[in-house]
Each structure stands twice: as C-alpha cells, then as structure tokens.
C-alpha cells in the first residue's frame, strides 16, 4: 500500500464540468488529482497539497487532435521549403521554452507549445509511412508537452498489394497489419488513396474505387475491404482511417458514398471528408454535396469522419497522396511543390496553398465543411479537424469552434464570401449551434474513444489528469484560444494561455497479438528487394523512450477475433 | 552471425548501407570488414584510432578542464559559429539545444553543396524518388555531372545491377547515360552485366547549364537550329530526350557537390525542370520520371533534417537574435570568418578527422574549440580540443540516408573511453549554467 502522505493531492474546486464520457453536462463539482491521475474524492483526513478555486470556470479533459500532420518526412519538407511561412512567426526562447518559428508548418517545439496553450494535450500524426516511421517518432519526440501517436500507412505498399494479388487469406493479412503496427509503433492503420500512390508510380493518374491497378490484380475496394476487416479482427480500437480516392475532384462525393459501403459493415473512419464531398453541379461544375454526405454519415453507424475544415489564408498541404498532389501542384501558391515516390512503400506530396474567401471554389469548400459539421447529428462520429495544415493551421481551432457555436458570427462571415459560392450553399439556412457539451464530445470524449485511448479524453477516476480550464466567454474564439489552466498528467503546464512548464508527453500505441511467422516472408522480401535490413525497419521501444524523456503507452486491443479457418 | 561478427550500418558515404558484416578481433581492438563492404567502408571500420586526449592550446588536460575552458570561452563569445557539424541526429539535437541557448550560428562542412539543392526546394520544389524505388523500377538512369561511384562506391552494384526486382525487370537491360562530369569520370560501373556499355556524353560541368537548358527545350519538343552545344552534338541530346520520353520510369540523378560554379542552383533547378516536364509535358501521361539528388555525407541530411524540425529552418541558420533566422547567403562559415562576424568557432567533425580549414583561420585571432574525431591533426592548435567517440564505430546514433526517407541506427561496435558528442554538448551547457549561477 502506498503511503498517502508521500503523494501530492490537488483539488480543482467548484468548476463547471463537461465530461461527456460520463454524461456530465455542465455540473459543478470538484476534481481530485493524485500522482498525475484523477482520483475519487479521497478521505477527509488526506491533506490537500494545493487547491484551485475554479468557481465559474469551464472544465474539460485536455483536447485531443485525432488527425494532425505534426511529424514525419512530408511535414519536415513543408518546413524546409517554406522559409516564408516562418518569417514574422518567430518565437524567441524564454527561460521555459526553446525558440522556434512557423505558422502553417511550425517547428516541433513551437507545435507542442501552441497545442498546449490551446488546451490540447494530445495529437495524432495520421500518415506515418512505415519506412519513415523512425523520423516521425523522432519529430514527435521533440514535440513537447502533448501526447502523440500515429497511424501507419498501408494500401500502396508493394507487400500488401502483392498479398492481395496472390489472394492470400485474411489471417495472413492480419498478421502483416499487426506486424506493421508493432514495427512502426503506431496506434492505427491509415490508407491514403487506396492503391493510388502505387498506381501513380506505374503512371496511372487517377484510380476510381472499382478501377484496376495497372500492375497488381486489385482495386481500391479490395484494399479497403481487406484492411478494414484486418483492423477490426485484430481488435484495434481505431477503425481503418481512410483518405478516400479522388480527393478534391468535383463530383467525388459519389466515390465517398461508395467508399462507405466498401468495408461491408466493418468500421471505417473517413478523414478530411470535406475534401471528398464535392458535387459537380452548377455553372462552375463544382457544388456542395454536404447534404448527401451527412445523410449517409447519419445513417451508417459504422462510419465516422473528421471534417478537414478549410479556413482562409496561407497554408501548406502535406499528404501521402502523391497522385492527387501532383495534380494539385498546378494550384500551388506560392508556385512550388515537392512530389516523392518512396521505397515501394508510399509517397508524398507537399503543395503550399492559399485559400481565398473571394474565390468561388475556396469559399464553397469553407461552406461545405461547416455544412457537414452542422448536418451531422452524432457528435461522437464527427470530429473537429482542419487536417492541419492542409485546410488550415491547427491554431485556427478556436475560430472554427466559434463558427460552430455562434450562428450570427457564422452568418456574418458567410455574408462576406464570394457571392456565387453563397448562392450555392445552404449554410445560412442552418440554425444549429454546437453546445459546449458537443464540443467536448468532438474534441475529447469522442476523439479518445475513436483513437482507442482508454485513459484520456474523460475526467473519471483513474483517467490521466490531462485537464483544461477555461473562463466561460460568449466569444468562444477568445475562450478556447486562452485557457486559464492546462494540466498535463497532473502537472500545471499552461497558465493564462502561456506555457509555464515543459514536459514531454507519451506515445500511444497498440500491440495486437499476431503470428510472428510472417517475419520469415518479410525477411526474405527485404533482403531481396529492399535497401535496408528488416531489423532496422523496426522501431525499438528504447528509441521512443529516449533515455527516459519519452514513454510508450500500449492501449488495449479488445474484442480480438480468433483466426478464421 | 558467427561469434564477434555483426551486421552494421556504414556512415562512410550517404548510401548508408546497413548490411556491412564486421568482425572484431579477440581483443576487441581492431576490426575487419567481412562482407558487403567497399573501399570506403573498409577505410572507416578498419581505421586505427589514436589514443587521444583533450587539449588546451595543444597541451593535454582532463575532460573536465577542457569542458570548463570551452564553457568559459563560449561565455565570452557574442557571436559563436558552430560549423563542420559532422554528426548525426542525436548529436545535432544536443547542438541545437546549445545553439539556441548561446545564440550561435550553424553551418555544415558540405553546406555549399546542400544549399544548391535546398534553394531549389524553396524556389520551385521538385519531384524525386528514393533508393528502393530506383532499385526496383528504373529503366533509364541519366547521371549528370558525376560518376556517382567516386563518392558512393556501391551505387551501381546495389541499386542498378541488382539481380532481382519486384517487377520482373531484367536489370541488365537498364540504360545508363552519363552527361557531363569532365575529366577523370569513371564510367566503368555503368557497364551492364550483359556487357552493354553506358552512353557517355561528356563536357565540363561548367557547361552543363547550357546543355541542360537545351535538353529541356528538346524534351519540350522545340526545334533548335544549332547542331552543337558545348561541344556535344545536338543529335546526342535529342537522343537522350527521346529515350527519356520512352522510358517507363527514368531517374535523373546529380551530385550538387560537383557543380562548383556561381549560381549552380540554377542548374539543379533546370535538371528538376526536366523531370517536371517529363511528368506533365505535352506528351502527358506517357512516362514517369523522378529526380535523385546525391548528397555529400558527413551527416549532411541528418543535420539538415534535425535543424529543420527543431527550429523550422534548415542550415544555414542562426539563433543570434534569440529566435531562429535563416540566411543561406550570409550565414556561411567562410563569410562569417572573413568578415569577422563570428567571434568564436566551434568546429565539429565526429565521423572523419576533418579539422577546420587553416585558410579560413589564417587571418584572425578568434578562439577555436574543436570537438571531434580522435585522430584529428592541426596545423594550428585550437584553444580547446575535445576528442569524442567516432559515430558508428565507438558510439551509437541515428542517421538519415541521402534520400531523407530512411533513418537508420548506427551501432557502437567498439568501446572507447572518450565521451560522446552529445555528452560533451550537454556538459558544456551545464558548465555554462554553473558559470551563470556563479558557482
Ligand atoms: Zn491529413
């Protein structure tokens, strides 16, 4: 038994609690923190080390960004190719923080500080190229305060496409998927333009859901079906994370609707769905299909989505989708782009972009994102993202929250947009305003559940004490931009919107069981065709632990299915 | 693996082969490369390491004394320059920390070459590929201004003439074209195993800008009236253009270190423009092409990547104002030293015993701290020399390959009593803190 007096006990008194995981909607109560975790009200004789009087304050779990490009090759290329993004956005070092810079593609230190200062305590890199996983983890390891983790990209890797072509059985695929999760220290699996990144290397310039790859005997639908099933059967909590085919193409909502059916009932998460909700109606052959997409989302309970809202201004798009980014490079602003084929494993494309409110397409993209938010009726299955930095930098989240919570502000902003775009959007006819409770679902409880973080995103006993305290303010942008307090694992790291202490956060992973026999095939394959050793492909725990600064948290895989015969 | 043998990563060139089999002798003192090596890896792994001690003005001292002296000098400096930077990820992380704290400027020994590529990345971007893609896909390799093997000895045997590929290609039918490179080009590695000789179309590298401009025009389908460019027959360039357009997956490769003339970043840009045109030209969708920039080594990719994620900027950058700044034209070792804009040089080279160039130091009396390879020799003794473990031999590490997509672990194979570069940086920082708090 631990001695109570050896531990500190912190009391957050009288805050107004929003904790959707426990159906707590704005109830005033106390929270106790001991040793970095939330605990039940202790015995009256246990001394309280410190009390924060939170009377009138809003208290939520720390926010979780379930899709944000914060670490890995393409992010670093974005930083490297955009010195103009950094100039004027420098941050001098202080006694507490290291220096850094950047707006759309900030340095790692700056990224961690900015997230924490907005009350975020975790962010998940959605596109870890398995071959590039070491770099992703190195960059995330240099991202302070917040917890992190990532989704490993499969679906254009030669090994999987070869397995599918050979009609290998689902058990073998499951083993390969599990092996990849272990090797890359990831918490989920993502597929980007299924098959398309590979097809581009064979000079295909587009790939529809049921179109055949030029070399392998597979279609994107096959890939989605097999991978979503693998993730499910392995018991990985996060559903297959899908960046669908035909990103950005007018009329692509049809592909998106069909993609929802491609998993044949297995859970799917459709990411930055805004970029996949375009019709091709009207004079400009570009229209909103938010209504159709939201309706389908509402009706298909196995589907979740994050929005990938665009907001106006300069940003940079960084994606694994080399095929579509190669097309988008024509719209680059400033005019430059980096497109890469990578290791028979994946690819990437980095294209700077400026969204303008007087541009018809951009204005409508803005409206489409908001329409999807407002027409989707289950906040547990829709998530608040800008697909940082692709739609906008993550620092614009408070502004986005205000757009969702404040109809008059939204209508005012809408009224200033390109007039033709206004005419093509139903946005001003939607009255819905998100509540604080719904915001807490989207950015905390729902996100934690979706990613599979057992002990985050809620304020129940034994949760990690990742807690954000705001001053209630009718101006929601101001409120969410500058929390009064942020606690990370029980330590006060942000006060009045500024970092006062730098900690390093943990890396969340899953480690589903699998048959290690798969390594025999992989070893042969690597020796014959790759340029590195299989052993060096795998990221060791010690690499992430980095002499004690980092930490791995293995989240549970529950409901794992036995091998099918 | 037999006893005393292990498979390790070789940092001697930027191919970063990670299957070099080395064997330690029974006293764990010397090593032999048993398999998969090349002249460079043998030189690296089989080197004789001097038993070296820290020095102050050439006189041996203990490590603490050297650290304290270094901190004392650093404390007095207003504009320290940390250059050389022959290190890997962990070393660079420690250096970035130190640089932020002390307001230092950062430059790498191969920055001249690196910048030619970085400037293109920042100006127009590019379309590139990586080694495993090349190994499995290339059907036409166009090599510009280099023979590759002088710097990357095993490039052809590992990446071009490999026995099997994923896509049923007979690699001996791969076409190799050398364009430019000047005298002393060793094109023997470009001979196919089936005896086919590579095409060699030579000129001086300084003439490449007009040659590549012409190639670009020909790829674009322009009719030109001249019949010779830089001594090269136009029909030969036309043939390259035609073959590029017919290839399934052509790879155009260059080593920016070979472009030693003014504004040669424009040549790099023109090369990448060929790739861009091939992928999107008027004969659209007929071919795929990709660039492959060859880097110089000594941790250039590692240092560039770490600097970029930690500060936002690649080299050449500076913390002198308390926040990161980037200036590829001003923050060069040569300029900062010759304009007396640096008042301290910290030189780092932990892979090879490369000392700071005596020329760059000849005219000024600025203090010099050298942290690096134990075998380093000096014409002029630095104020402080701290020998550190050789990365990939005596110290583990993490290193970026030339294509930046792959990061590989370096192994500690032999023991050493010396500290690591990271330790030295951390200890200097600690000593600085102690100075500050008046201890
Ligand atoms: Zn994304």
pLDDT tens per residue, range B134-176 = 999 999 999 999 999 999 999 999 999 999 999 999 999 999 9
Mark which residues 350-379 of A lie under 8 Å from B by CB.
350
Query: Helices A170-184 and A220-233, interaxial angle, to 10°?
Result: 70
Q: Please give, rounded to a whole number of angstroms, the shortest distance from the CA of B29 to a CA of chain A.
A: 26
| pLDDT tens digits for range A166-205 | 999 999 999 999 999 999 999 999 999 999 999 999 999 9
Q: What is the pLDDT of residue A4?
A: 39
Return the minimum-mean-pLDDT range out of A52-56, A229-233, B221-225. Answer: B221-225
pLDDT tens digit string along A253-285? 999 999 999 999 999 999 999 999 999 999 999
CATH of B115-294, one of 3.40.228.10, 3.10.105.10, 3.40.462.10, 3.40.50.300: 3.40.228.10
Contact state of B398 with A138 under an 8 Å Cβ cutoff? yes
Nearest CA in chain A to B10: A532
Residue B439 has pLDDT above 50, yes or no: no
Among A129, A142, A326, select the one facing B310 at the smallest CB separation: A142
Q: A333: nearest CA in chain B? A: B124
pLDDT digits (tens, 9 = 90+) for B340-351: 899 999 999 999
pLDDT bin (cut points 50, 70, 90) of residue A293 is: very high
Distance separating alpha carbons of residues B183 and B160, to the nearest angstrom: 23
Q: Which two tokens stand for residue A293?
A: 């997409």
Q: A177 in contact with B at a CB cutoff of 8 Å?
A: no
Rounded to the nearest integer, the mean pLDDT of chain B is 95
Q: What does DSSP say about strands B344-349 and B80-86: parallel, antiparallel, or unpaired?
A: parallel
Mean pLDDT of A278-299: 97
Q: Which of B18, B118, B280 sits opposite A533 (nearest CB)?
A: B18
Element (H, E) at B346: strand B344-349
User: Choosing among B330, B407, B412, B436, which should be mutated to test the A contact, i.e. which has the most A CBs within 10 A?
Assistant: B407
Query: A95: burial class by Cβ within 10 Å (0-12, 13-18, 19+)?
Result: exposed
Kindly determine whether residue A215 and residue B310, on different chains, have CB atoms separated by under 8 Å.
no
- Verify cis geometry, omega within 30 degrees of 0, for the bond prior to A389: yes
Q: What is the pLDDT of residues B385-438, one digit of tens each?
A: 999 999 999 999 999 999 999 999 999 999 999 999 999 999 999 999 887 765
Distance of CA A266 to the CA centre of its chain: 20
pLDDT exceeds cutoff 60 at A240: yes
Q: What is the DSSP letter of A62?
A: P
**Least confident window among A230-244, A438-452, B18-32, B46-60:** B18-32
Return residues with CB closer than 5 A to ligand 1 (ion): A 126, 387
Task: Select the CATH number that applies to the domain covering A61-456+463-499 from these four: 3.20.20.140, 3.40.50.12140, 3.40.50.720, 3.40.50.1980.
Answer: 3.20.20.140
Strand partners, B82: B106, B346
Q: Hey, of B312, B317, B320, which one would you mutate to test binding to chain A, going by the most A CBs within 10 A of its CB?
A: B312
Encode burial over A219-255: b for 16+ CB neighbours within 10 A, e otherwise: bbbbbbbbbbbbbbbbbbbbbbbbbbbbbbbbebbbb
Q: How far is the CA of A386 from the centre of ligand 1 (A)?
A: 8
Confidence band, pLDDT 50/70/90 cuts, at residue B365: confident
Check CB contact of A86 with chain B, cutoff 8 Å. Answer: yes
How far A526 CA sits from the closest chain B CA (Å)?
10
Whether the pLDDT of residue B335 is over 70: the answer is yes
Flag whether residue A326 sits within 8 Å of chain B, measured between CB atoms. yes
Q: How far apart are CA B108 and CA B369, in angstroms?
A: 16
Section B377-383 average pLDDT: 92
Q: Which of A86, A138, A142 sits opposite B312 (nearest CB)?
A: A86
- E strand or H helix at A83: helix A83-86
- Answer yes or no: is pLDDT of B259 > 70: yes
The structure tokens listed for A176 are 């390969």
Closest partner residue to A343 (CB to CB) among B130, B159, B310 is B130
∠ CA B68-B74-B80, nearest 5°, is 150
Q: Do B165 and A529 touch (CB under 8 A)?
A: yes
Q: Does the pLDDT at position A2 exceed 70?
A: no
Residue B201 has pLDDT above 50, yes or no: yes
User: How far does the CA of residue A216 sit from the closest CA of chain B (Å)?
Assistant: 10
Residue A563, pLDDT above cutoff 90: no
Domain-wise residue ranges, chain B: 5-42, 51-110+298-437, 115-294
| pLDDT class of B285 with cuts at 50, 70, 90 | low
Record: contact A81-B312, CB cut-off 8 A: no
The answer to whether the Cβ–Cβ distance between A341 and B100 falls below 8 Å is: no
The residue of chain B with its CA nearest to that of A86 is B312
pLDDT higher than 80, residue B284: no
ipTM greater than 0.90? yes
> Are A107 and B135 an interchain contact pair (Cβ–Cβ within 8 Å)?
no
Task: Provide the 8-state DSSP code for B14.
Answer: T
Q: Where are the alpha helices (DSSP H) in A303-383?
A: 322-328, 360-375
Sheet strands (E) in B71-135: 80-86, 105-106, 125-128
pLDDT band at B27 (very low <50, low <70, confident <90, very high): confident
Q: Decide if B118 contacts B303 (C-beta within 8 A).
A: no
Mean of per-residue pLDDT scores for chain A = 96
pLDDT of residue A43: 87
Distance CA A543, CA A551 (A): 10
Q: Does pTM top 0.95 for this prediction?
A: yes
| Count of CA atoms in the C-beta half-sphere (13 A) of A414 | 25
- Calculate how close chain A gets to B257, using CA atoms only, in Å: 20
Topology given in CATH for the domain delimited by B51-110+298-437? Rossmann fold (3.40.50)
């Amino acid at each position: 038994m631990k001695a109570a007096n050896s531990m500190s006990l912190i009391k957050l008194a009288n805050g107004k609690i929003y904790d959707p995981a426990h159906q707590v909607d704005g109830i005033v109560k106390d929270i106790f923190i001991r040793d970095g975790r939330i605990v039940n009200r202790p015995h009256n004789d246990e001394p309280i080390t410190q009390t924060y009087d939170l009377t009138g304050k809003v208290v939520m779990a720390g926010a979780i960004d379930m899709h944000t490009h914060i670490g890995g090759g393409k992010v670093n290329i974005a930083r490297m190719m955009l010195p103009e993004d950094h100039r004027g956005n420098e941050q001098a070092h202080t006694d507490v923080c290291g220096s850094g810079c950047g707006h759309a593609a900030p340095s790692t230190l700056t990224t961690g500080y900015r997230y924490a200062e907005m009350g975020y305590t975790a962010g998940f890199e959605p596109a870890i190229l398995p071959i590039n996983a070491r770099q992703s983890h190195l960059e995330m390891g240099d991202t302070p305060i917040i917890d992190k983790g990532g989704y490993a990209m499969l679906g254009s890797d030669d090994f999987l496409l070869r397995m599918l072509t050979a009609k290998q059985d689902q058990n073998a695929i499951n083993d390969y998927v599990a092996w990849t999760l272990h090797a890359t220290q990831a918490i989920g699996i993502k597929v980007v333009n299924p098959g398309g990144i590979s097809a581009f290397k064979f000079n295909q310039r587009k790939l529809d859901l049921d179109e055949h790859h030029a070399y392998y005997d597979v279609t994107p639908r096959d890939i989605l079906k097999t991978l979503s099933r693998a993730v499910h059967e392995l018991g990985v909590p996060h559903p297959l994370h899908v960046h669908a085919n035909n990103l950005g193409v007018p009329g692509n909502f049809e592909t998106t609707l069909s993609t929802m059916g491609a998993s044949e009932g297995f859970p799917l998460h459709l990411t930055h769905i805004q970029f996949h909700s375009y019709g091709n109606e009207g004079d400009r052959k570009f229209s909103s299909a938010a209504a159709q997409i939201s309706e389908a989302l509402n009706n298909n309970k196995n589907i979740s989505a994050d929005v990938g809202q665009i907001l106006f201004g300069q940003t940079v798009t960084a994606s694994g989708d080399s095929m579509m980014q190669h097309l988008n490079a024509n719209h680059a602003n400033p005019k430059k782009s980096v497109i890469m084929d990578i290791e028979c494993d994946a690819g990437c494309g980095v294209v700077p972009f400026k969204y303008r409110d007087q541009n018809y397409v951009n204005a409508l993209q803005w409206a489409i994102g908001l329409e999807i938010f407002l027409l989707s009726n289950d906040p547990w299955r829709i998530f608040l993202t800008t697909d940082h930095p692709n739609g906008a930098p993550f620092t614009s989240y408070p502004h986005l929250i205000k757009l969702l919570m404040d109809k008059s502000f939204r209508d005012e902003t809408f009224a200033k947009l390109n007039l033709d775009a206004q005419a093509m959007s139903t946005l001003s006819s939607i009255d819905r305003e998100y509540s604080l409770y719904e915001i807490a679902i989207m950015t905390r409880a729902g996100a934690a559940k979706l990613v599979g973080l057992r002990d985050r995103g809620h304020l129940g006993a034994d949760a990690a004490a990742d807690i954000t305290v705001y001053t209630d303010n009718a101006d929601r942008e101001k409120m969410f931009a500058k929390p009064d307090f942020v606690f990370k694992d029980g330590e006060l790291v942000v006060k009045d919107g500024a970092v006062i202490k730098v900690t390093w956060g943990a890396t969340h992973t899953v480690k589903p069981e699998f048959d290690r026999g798969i390594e025999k095939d992989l070893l042969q394959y690597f020796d014959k065709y790759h340029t590195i050793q299989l052993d060096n492909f795998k990221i060791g725990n010690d690499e992430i632990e980095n002499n004690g600064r980092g930490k791995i948290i293995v989240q549970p895989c529950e409901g794992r299915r036995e091998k099918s015969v | 693996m037999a006893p005393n043998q292990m498979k390790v990563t070789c940092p001697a060139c930027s191919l970063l082969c990670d299957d070099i089999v080395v064997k330690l002798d029974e006293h764990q003192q010397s090593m032999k490369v048993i398999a998969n090596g090349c002249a460079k890896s043998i030189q690296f792994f089989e080197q004789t390491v001097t038993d070296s001690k820290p020095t102050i003005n050439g006189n041996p001292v203990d490590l603490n004394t050297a650290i304290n002296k270094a901190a004392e000098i650093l404390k007095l400096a207003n504009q320290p320059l940390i250059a050389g930077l022959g290190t890997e990820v962990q070393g660079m992380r420690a250096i970035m920390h130190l640089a932020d704290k002390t307001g230092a400027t950062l430059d790498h020994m191969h920055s001249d070459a690196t910048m030619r590529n970085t400037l293109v990345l920042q100006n127009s971007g590019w379309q590139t590929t990586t080694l495993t893609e090349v190994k499995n896909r290339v059907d036409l390799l166009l090599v510009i201004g280099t023979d590759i093997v002088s710097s990357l000895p095993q490039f052809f045997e590992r990446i071009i003439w490999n026995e099997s590929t994923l896509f049923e290609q007979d690699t001996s039918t791969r076409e190799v074209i050398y364009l430019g490179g000047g005298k002393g080009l060793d094109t023997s590695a470009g001979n196919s195993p089936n005896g086919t000789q590579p095409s060699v179309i030579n000129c001086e590298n300084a003439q490449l800008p007009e040659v590549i401009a012409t190639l670009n025009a020909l790829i674009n389908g322009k009719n030109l009236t001249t019949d010779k460019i830089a001594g090269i027959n136009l029909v030969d360039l036309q043939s390259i253009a035609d073959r590029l357009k017919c290839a399934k997956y052509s790879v155009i490769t260059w080593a920016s270190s070979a472009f030693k003339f003014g504004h040669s970043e424009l040549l790099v840009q023109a090369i990448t423009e060929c790739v861009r045109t091939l992928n999107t030209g008027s004969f659209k969708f007929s071919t795929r092409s990709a660039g492959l920039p060859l880097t110089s080594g000594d941790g250039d990719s590692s240092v560039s990547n770490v600097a970029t994620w930690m500060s936002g900027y690649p080299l050449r950058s500076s913390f002198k104002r308390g926040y990161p700044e980037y200036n590829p034209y001003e923050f060069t070792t040569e300029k900062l030293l010759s304009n007396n804009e640096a008042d301290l040089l910290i030189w780092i080279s932990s892979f090879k015993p490369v000392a700071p160039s005596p020329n760059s130091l000849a005219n000024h009396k600025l203090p010099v701290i050298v942290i690096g390879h134990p075998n380093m020799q000096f014409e002029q003794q630095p104020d402080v020399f701290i020998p550190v473990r050789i990365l990939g031999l005596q110290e583990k590490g993490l290193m970026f390959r030339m294509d930046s997509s792959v990061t590989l672990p370096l192994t500690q194979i032999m023991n050493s009593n010396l500290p690591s570069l990271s330790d030295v940086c951390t200890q200097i920082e600690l000593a600085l803190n102690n100075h500050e708090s008046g201890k």
